[in-house]
Structure 1
Amino acid sequence: MGAHLIVGLDVDTRGEAEAVVEALGETVSLYKIGYQLFYGGDGLALGKALIAAGKQVFFDLKLLDIDNTVEKGVAAVAGTGAAMLTVHAYPKAMKAAVRGAEGSGLTVLGVTVLTSMDDADVAEAGYGRDAAGLVMLRAAQARDIGVGGVVASAHEAEMVRGIVGERLAIVTPGIRPSGSAAGDQKRVMTPREAIAAGASHLVVARPIVAASDPAAAARAILDEMSGGTRLA
């Protein structure tokens, strides 16, 4: 299974995002647009423009609502031509999302446990499982419901791959190149480690968008990814 680099456009404005995309040129083809840019920086319009320009767009919106609202929201995102969309990995939300994406090229991703959460955070949220146990449950539910993939920490990628098989995407945030700071993430890994563990897509934001030379930073990460056993 080949692996893909997703650059997270975690910036405030459309202009900043377009500058990153221009700097990256042909080095990167898949971009993530999350809350920060989507709501504050005209991210929906930017996403449509990127799609029209031949790029792939991942809308990281983590939808969770009543079934009809999720289904209609996913159908609307599918209509943009987006490649990926996140929903929280609750069974009813995932089932509604699958209905909304039916017939499109949109890959629905179920978010298992945020990479900023550890066992203490999961317990505080009221779950009777540790983080790994909750990821296992959500991954099995995602597999059975038929979404296109899951979002999980790279630390759980090997376990998740054993649950979902080779067909589903495993998208891993919290990726930090060797020697970089973890920031606000608690469960992080290097690109090489994540690929070796079974991840199919790596999300990298700050180490690329904040770099003085984003293209060079992206190429270095791609080189590091190529050292993972799944790409060897």
Structure 2
Amino acid sequence: MKRLILALDVYEKETALKVAGKTAEYLWALKINWPLILGSGLGIIGELKKETGLPVIADLKLADIPNTNRLIAGKVFNAGADYIITHGFTGRDSVKAVMELGDVIMVTEMSHPGAREFIQPITDRLVELANELEPFGIIAPATRPERVAYIRRRLNGDIKILTPGVGAQGGSARRVLEAGADYIIVGRSIYTSENPTESAKRFHEEIKG
């Protein structure tokens, strides 16, 4: 079973396609963020899918009113994205506006230190919202495996947990899987590596089920 997601947090289309092609055999999916969309355009979604045959997650972290979320999500799903990441703190109506168009991954807690300030205090309510709406998955921090375990205990078992923060941010792939994660998201430790193929293979071997 493949559990590795490559986060292509780069601007350049050529770099993204090259790294994706070299690592695809070890990946479950690709995750793209605003830097790549702004640097290469929405067409990069279709190009990545053509190059690798893998699902593409658009990490937009949508956090707006329902109509704006709907307008953005419509364009991105039409461009070929398989999943869109959206914030939950804007409320169920904003999340549902995206879910009406395609599969959603909802943020319940982020991996950076600042997440402790405002997001972590409402994690329980965000997990309750996820259990109510039943998105494909939620985001939880690989940098804090104890939080992943906490969220997993409270989350509907059918909802997947995707965990960013492995590698450059210091998270341990094995520890976070043991805590209950379903998928591991790795970016810089692969795409800045001298040998992205070997780096992706190493993570895949560590976490394969």
Does the pair score TM above 0.5?
yes
Give structure 1 stretches of 5+ with no counterpart: 102-106, 183-187
Structure 1, residues 78-106: CA drift from partner, whole Å, max 9, x if none? 333322211111223212222232xxxxx
CA distance in 1, matches of 2:47, 2:129: 34
CA distance in 1, matches of 2:174, 2:62: 30
Task: Compute the displacement of 1:120 (Å).
Answer: 5.6
Give structure 2 stretches of 5+ with no counterpart: none
CA distance in 2, matches of 1:86, 1:56: 13
CA distance in 2, matches of 1:166, 1:193: 19
8 Å CA contact retained: 2:22, 2:196: yes
The number of residue pairs the alignment matches comes to: 203
Partner of 1:163: 154
What one-letter code is carried by the residue in structure 1 that aligns with 2:22? A
Pairing partner for 1:117 from 113, 117, 135: 113
Structural mapping, 1:10-25, within 5 Å = 10-25=9-24
What one-letter code is carried by the residue in structure 1 that aligns with 2:122? L
Pairing partner for 1:207 from 169, 189, 194: 189
Partner of 1:84: 83
Percent identical pairs in the alignment equals 26
SS of corresponding position for 1:174? strand
RMSD: 2.0
What one-letter code is carried by the residue in structure 1 that aligns with 2:83? M
| Higher deviation after alignment, 166-175 or 146-155 | 146-155
What one-letter code is carried by the residue in structure 1 that aligns with 2:104? V
CA distance in 1, matches of 2:99, 2:88: 12
What one-letter code is carried by the residue in structure 2 that aligns with 1:23? K
| CA shift in 2, pair 1:141/1:202, >3 Å | same
Partner of 2:96: 95
8 Å CA contact retained: 1:73, 1:100: no
Partner of 1:172: 163
8 Å CA contact retained: 2:109, 2:115: no
